[in-house]
Structure 1
């Protein structure tokens, strides 16, 4: 019987060294097959079976391996037995496969040779891409490691790009099963955590919180310091005065948050640095002083603020901050820096005017100083760094008579409003004022209003956000109107003489005729109260709005003290608005707290006096029964709300600001 079937394909037989022999097409192939079959029939031992893979030690010495773990040769020579798994027929990883507890586990391997050395297990093998998910070293029986994102590893293993090596389980290092279970549970609850979620940033320090509060609450109301991104880049320079500006910013920011004693610490540090010997006299020093001045004025330290203001004004004139070329010479070729220097001069100009106008102690010194500094651009242009070519004050004054269609920024209209305040303050204070001079100032105020472009007629920008520069410009004009006409009006201000937190009381005797000056005064006070209704947190306005609200409150209280007032319910609502606004501003500014207490106290006194007069029947002669009931009910309601304010209940909405 033949040992093969006719027509069958030729066979190959493994040689003694494990390599395949010649094919049956070679001479003597049939004889070899027949001989092997005959030996098997005679009971002689067959050739050892071939193994799927040889260990690395046997392969390196070109010796036959029995495929055991460890093999007999490695066992005899006490050599570590390592295998490279065969990838013949590999079609990629299977999904949702059950874990095999008898599977040989991957373990860490000794460091592999460097690129210059010959390593048989790397020949012909492409490394694993770093973008692929990293593989774990091994998994104990019964625990399956979930897939993890490569970014969850802080440092990749040096063996990430090396094929896994399998060895005897006796070489596997021990691992704490509890730690592995914790890792598994955490990974299952949050899928593929990223490095950003695992590493939490440290909480901001108090200094950082004060710095951020400055830009969030204050910078929009006095935008002369560099925008935040530019200032952070500037901090890395060598100018010591930049550090003074930062300390002054922290002081102002500390007023808006619960900073404790740090508020006084920052103030003392800023003053010490501003007046230390050898400090350079430059624009940064003026910026730091101006920030401290605004903060001190809002905290009722007005005398110290006036002293610093006098020093700041002398320094500004000394270094030629009021000259056009200052911005170019000190702008470092950066348009944003140049814009900041222009804004610094004009902010000092506006603040000098507002301090003089609301307190009536200083004389607005900078109003008489010649200045040819370019006008600031729009706020969005400043914050974004897209600075246009500056316009000048002569361009603003000539716009009506020139053919050029020019658009001026909100900051520019704020400057012109402050200039109108300066002209008002230069009027002689006499018992019999010149009516022609009054008409001239009123014409300037009216021209400012009627020539506003449509985009500047309210306090909102094109994106429906509050335009703080136009907000301030409008209330400066309203305050000028009130200050111009109130002394000539028919309103007796003696009932509100206790309201003197911002400025001394100005006595006005009531007349018999309701004249045009009274109409201007009442309209200006009403417009100021209307500005409180803007849908923004009132604490984001400048603190100078406190004194403007106080001026408006004096007018409202003077009217409310009269026996016969038209539309008295609307008047009461305006008083409520003013008191509520002062209460909110008092969370930040001490000056607002003082004004709030005075206005509320006068309102209570007027209420008690009105209640006393209501006992007399003659008081209700011109009232119907319904009007009498409504008047008593409204008065009781507003006084109960005043009491609620005292108990700590605010009248206005919006986010709270912790009082420092």
Structure 2
């Protein structure tokens, strides 16, 4: 997402239909321009009401604007919410907010503070900006308001956010989908008279805004809440509330949400189905990021057992349990593959499990693109066999970002099944590197970075690239020539791995240095860093170990660039620590090692004159100044209450 995009503000929509809850996605409207799609009920000034009343009575009731579903079918709409046609067909009934006839706020507003006019702006700052479809492809979801957050926990990072400032949740029921665009334009819907949300409601919104983009398996909010009226999904909602509560201060209710979720998922009468696996997934991810890895692994083991018992990995499961609903079928497929990815991530970053699900032969359909899932336009699923044969079959098939994420974690599984290497020239290492390189080289142009075709952040490709870089470090680090002992105290995510130093950089060293630098650069993407999966914490820690091991060398070329990468990693970990305590532990360890390396190098420089042989006085001063600067910045970043720039 381009951080230069203008901030979207909300303005009143006269005659807008009453909305009890706002849809988080919209259907496409064929044959209409973005301007036409943004038109809603026309604005009517208060002075014109009396003049038009007689004509309105004579002409009979009129509909100021049709809903999107009726407009797309060129049918007459009665303007109700939902309209009679949508109610009869059980379709989503949505209206697009309009600003036709609006000429800005009046110069002399009414003296009566309770009196509202069609031209008055609801924003306290008097902004005359209006809700619209930004480029007909940008959703405008809401984030928690400032009042919802405890300053001691830190604010979620909004650097590069398209919102300009943290939006409020109270006026909109939307969630962050930065990759939603194209034909499925987001609809901004308003309800100025909606009562303040309760904490459980705000937690659900927080879940969809922060947690959901990294693990998009549950149904979109409106669909899920609608389904919860017909079947017992309280265990899933309880898990979602707890996960959402991690991102802002809710006091003792957070513990209540967690206790309820744990009690419900292990209740004797709970249905053993895909919804139960979804609830367990949410809980184990949250626990893992909260430094409760043992509990997380216990739930992961239970979720794996249930998924295998019910056959969630089989192609027929989604069809037989999807109730003929393509979106529910897609959600069930996503549940299996997200469990598969999470199992691999836990095994890779903690090195405490063996990626059990990698050995399950699955024929479940691969997930579709995120905007297709949110809009409900689910295509025919493709399968792993299609993915593996795409180069040789000659078929031009397009696979989703989620599918490339699955393919990336499969490479991790292959690597974990390699026998222990006893010498650097082991053919197994070369074969594994071929898998990693092939994954990168055969990416289509649209998947080579973490942006989709609309230049919006693609979290699934972000994770896919992240996993690939992490695999490269794990594969080559044991054979590299970077002594890992200087970073032995960085063990927040995994035990220290001993790597002996060599005389010079070899190919394996080059691989891990390149991968570690690529991971650090991922911090700079224009997206709130707390909305990434929490596993990014451990991948950043792996990258930091490589950087610190290299910085500890006697002499390093491009020393300043390396210090800046360390600074990026520590700043990112510090920001993630506002939500995930595991990131706080990792940032403290990385900072401590960086300070120790700095002190050791400084002492060597001061006490050993031969260190500076061949350096000019200007180079010596520059190097010392750079060291002082980077350590000062690291210390400043980790002071309580300090946020990352």
TM-score normalized with structure 1 length: 0.69
187 and 539 in structure 1: CA distance in 2 versus 1, 3 angstrom threshold: closer
Deviation, 1:402, is 1.1
Contact 2:574 2:638 in 1 (8 A): no
- In structure 2, the partner of 1:636 is 628
Residue 495 of structure 1 pairs with residue 486 of structure 2? yes
Contact 1:375 1:393 in 2 (8 A): yes
Rounded to whole Å, the distance in 1 between the matches of 2:620 and 2:530 is: 38
Which is further off, 274-283 or 485-494?
A: 274-283
Q: For the residues of structure 2 that align with 1:192 and 1:388, how far apart are their CA atoms?
A: 43
User: Are residue 418 (structure 1) and residue 344 (structure 2) matched?
Assistant: no
Aligned partners of 2:433, 2:55: CA distance in 1, in Å? 84
- Please state if 1:339 is matched with 2:311: no
- For 1:648, the equivalent position in structure 2 comes to 640
1:205 maps to: 198
The question of whether the paired residues in 1 share the 8 Å contact of 2:219 and 2:328 is answered with: yes
Alignment partner of 1:466 is 2:461: no
For residues 235-250 of structure 1, what are the structure 2 equivalents within 5 Å?
235-237=228-230, 239-240=231-232, 242-250=233-241
- Aligned pairs for 1:115-514 (under 5 A) are 129=57, 186=112, 190-191=116-117, 200-237=193-230, 239-240=231-232, 242-432=233-423, 435-514=426-505
2:508 is the alignment partner of 1:549: no
CA distance in 2, matches of 1:131, 1:253: 50
Question: Is the Cα–Cα contact under 8 Å of residues 327 and 342 in structure 1 kept in the other structure?
Answer: yes
Change (3 A) 1:576 1:187: closer
Q: 1:422 to 1:198 in 2, by over 3 A?
A: closer
Structure 1 CA distance for aligned equivalents of residues 111 and 633 of structure 2: 56
CA deviation after TM superposition for structure 1 residue 262, in Å: 1.6
CA pair 192-333 structure 1, distance change in 2 beyond 3 A: closer
In the alignment, the residues of structure 1 paired with residue 265 and residue 191 of structure 2 have an alpha-carbon distance, to the nearest angstrom, of 44
| 8 A Cα contact 2:547 2:562, kept in partner | yes
CA drift of 1:434 comes to 6.3
Deviations 1:150-182 (A, max 9, x none): xxxxxxxxxxxxxxxxxxxxxxxxxxxxxxxxx
The verdict on how the C-alpha distance between 1:189 and 1:394 changes in structure 2, with shifts beyond 3 A counting, is closer
In 1, Cα distance between the equivalents of 2:113 and 2:590? 62
1:404 Cα offset (Å) = 1.1
Q: Counterparts of 1:127 and 1:416 in 2: how far apart (Å)? A: 64
Q: Quote the offset at 1:519 in angstroms.
A: 0.6
- Contact 1:497 1:505 (C-alpha < 8 Å) held by counterparts: yes
What's the CA shift for 1:280?
Answer: 1.6
Cα deviation 1:526-575 (Å, max 9, x = unaligned): 11011111011111100000000000000000011111101000000000
- Measure the CA separation in 1 of the matches of 2:394 and 2:637: 55
CA contact (8 A) 1:584 1:650 kept: no
Distance 1:186 1:632, change over 3 A: same
Distance change >3 Å, CA 127–CA 563, structure 1 → 2? closer
Which consecutive unaligned segments of at least 5 residues does structure 1 have?
Answer: 1-94, 96-125, 133-183, 654-660
User: Shift of the alpha carbon at 1:429?
Assistant: 2.4
Gaps of 5+ in 2: 1-46, 48-53, 61-109, 123-189
Match of 1:518 among 485, 497, 509: 509
Aligned residue in 1 for 2:170: none
- Provide the residue aligned with 1:530 in structure 2: 521
> How far 1:507 sits from its partner (Å)?
0.4
- Quote how far apart the aligned CAs of 1:260 are: 1.6
Cα offset, 1:614, TM superposition: 1.4
Within 1, Cα distance between the matches of 2:191 and 2:529?
39
Structure 1 316/190 Cα, relative in aligned 2: closer, same or farther at 3 Å?
Answer: closer
Instruction: Give me the whole-angstrom Cα distance separating, in 2, the residues matched to 1:275 and 1:427.
Output: 36
d(CA) in 1 for partners of 2:303 and 2:219? 19
Which structure has more relative contact order (CA 8 Å, sep 6+)? It is: 2
Could you report, residue by residue, the CA deviation over 1:264-313 in whole angstroms, capped at 9, with x for unpaired residues? Answer: 11111100011112222111111111110000000010000001111110
Q: Report the Cα distance in structure 1 between the residues aligned to 2:238 and 2:594, rounded to whole angstroms.
A: 40
**1:187 Cα deviation (Å)?**
8.0
Deviation at 1:513, TM superposition (A): 2.6
Select the residue among 577, 584, 589 that pairs with 2:580. Answer: 589
556, 559, 583: which one aligns with 1:565: 556
Q: Secondary structure at the match of 1:363?
A: coil
Q: 1:243 to 1:434 in 2, by over 3 A?
A: farther
SS in 1 for 2:408: helix
Larger Rg: 1
Structure 2 CA distance for aligned equivalents of residues 430 and 293 of structure 1 = 32
Is this contact kept in 1: 2:637–2:644, CA < 8 A?
no
Question: Do the aligned partners of 1:374 and 1:391 also contact (CA within 8 Å) in 2?
Answer: yes
Residue in structure 1 matching 2:610, options 612, 618, 621: 618
User: CA separation of 1:332/1:608 partners in 2, compared to 1, >3 Å: closer, same or farther?
Assistant: same
After superposition, the Cα gap between the structure-2 partners of 1:405 and 1:610, relative to the gap in structure 1 and judged at 3 Å, is same
Q: 2:452, 2:518 → 1: CA distance?
A: 19
TM-aligned CA deviation for residue 624 of structure 1: 1.5
Q: Structure 1 residues 198, 336: closer, same or farther in 2, change over 3 A?
A: closer
Query: Equivalent residue for 2:530?
Result: 539
1:434 and 1:613 mapped to 2: Cα distance? 35
CA contact under 8 A between 2:312 and 2:336: conserved in structure 1? yes
Residues 481, 500 of structure 2: 8 Å contact kept? yes
1:47 aligned partner: none
CA spacing shift, 1:625–1:371, aligned 2, 3 Å: same
Assess if the C-alpha contact under 8 Å between 1:580 and 1:650 holds in 2.
no
1:269–1:433 distance in 2 versus 1, CA, 3 Å: farther
User: For the residues of structure 1 that align with 2:618 and 2:118, how far apart are their CA atoms?
Assistant: 72
Report how far residue 232 of structure 1 moved: 1.8
